[in-house]
Amino acid sequence: MTSSKQPRLGRPPASNSADTQERILAVARQSFAERGYEGTTNRLLAERAGITTGAIYHYFDSKREIYLAVDRDVGRRVFRRFREAEAGADTFVAKFEAILEVAHQMNSEDPSLARFLGAVRVDLQRHTELSEVMGVDGRLRDNAFLAAMVDHGIATGEVAPAQRELVLAFVRTVLIGLTDAVSDDLVAQRAAIDAIGALLEGSLIHPAAN
């Protein structure tokens, strides 16, 4: 009668709420990173988290809510690491390089982080329902963080005040280029970071006399 094959109803033995929720977040981060918001189906999340689709709604009100939760989670993690890296250096160049370095490190440890960051920009543009709710919060904080770093460069004399915006634009471009372009090719990413380091020190390009 009660075969050991068929899954039973009711609360499964030894199931932990916080555990399941974290499992959902983890598989969601991965799937959102790989397949995007639309491409990530509840069925897929459920399968990978070892539950059924209905159970997801015990933890999150909607797919959108899952996405936002993942975004918050990723944002927090990355921001903490960035801040730590930046705090350990004292010139603008050193801070910038430290950040690139830690970005590379995180990408090695858990590629889904970087990939999610790359994907989130696209998905936010495509699904306005997401950006409306999330909005300013995370994005703005990033900008403020980078701006402070550049301002530090002005204080140390590394950056001319007049070029504040230029440097900021460059920093952003490089960071995004690194996450989007080569987040799944660690060798290329390593090369790009080294290149930027060399470039900042003036040892990458030797302008032709021309």
Partner DNA sequence: TATGAATGAGTGTTCATTCAT
Partner DNA sequence: CATGAATGAACACTCATTCAT
Reduced to 3 states (helix: H, G, I; strand: E, B; else coil), residue 127 is coil
CA 105 to chain centroid: 13
20 touches DNA by CB under 7 A: yes
In the structure encoding, which two tokens stand for residue 121, read together? 């920009």
Nearer to its own copies, 47 or 165 (CB): 165
140 binds, among DNA, its own copies, none (CB under 5 to 8 A by kind): none
Segment near its own copies (CB under 8 A); pick from 36-44, 68-76, 78-86, 131-139: 36-44
Give the whole-angstrom CA distance, residue 130 versus residue 61: 14
CA nearest neighbour of 167 among 151, 155, 180, 181: 151
DSSP conformational letter for 9? S
16 touches DNA by CB under 7 A: yes
In the structure encoding, which two tokens stand for residue 109, read together? 């440890």
Give the whole-angstrom CA distance, residue 175 versus residue 103: 9
161 touches DNA by CB under 7 A: no
Please report, as ranges, the residues that interact with its own copies according to CB under 8 A. Answer: 34-36, 38-39, 90-94, 118-119, 121-122, 125-127, 153, 156-160, 163, 165-170, 172-178, 180-182, 188-189, 191-192, 194-196, 198-202, 204-208, 210
Please report, as ranges, the residues that interact with DNA according to CB under 7 A. Answer: 6-17, 20, 38, 40-44, 46, 51-58, 61-64
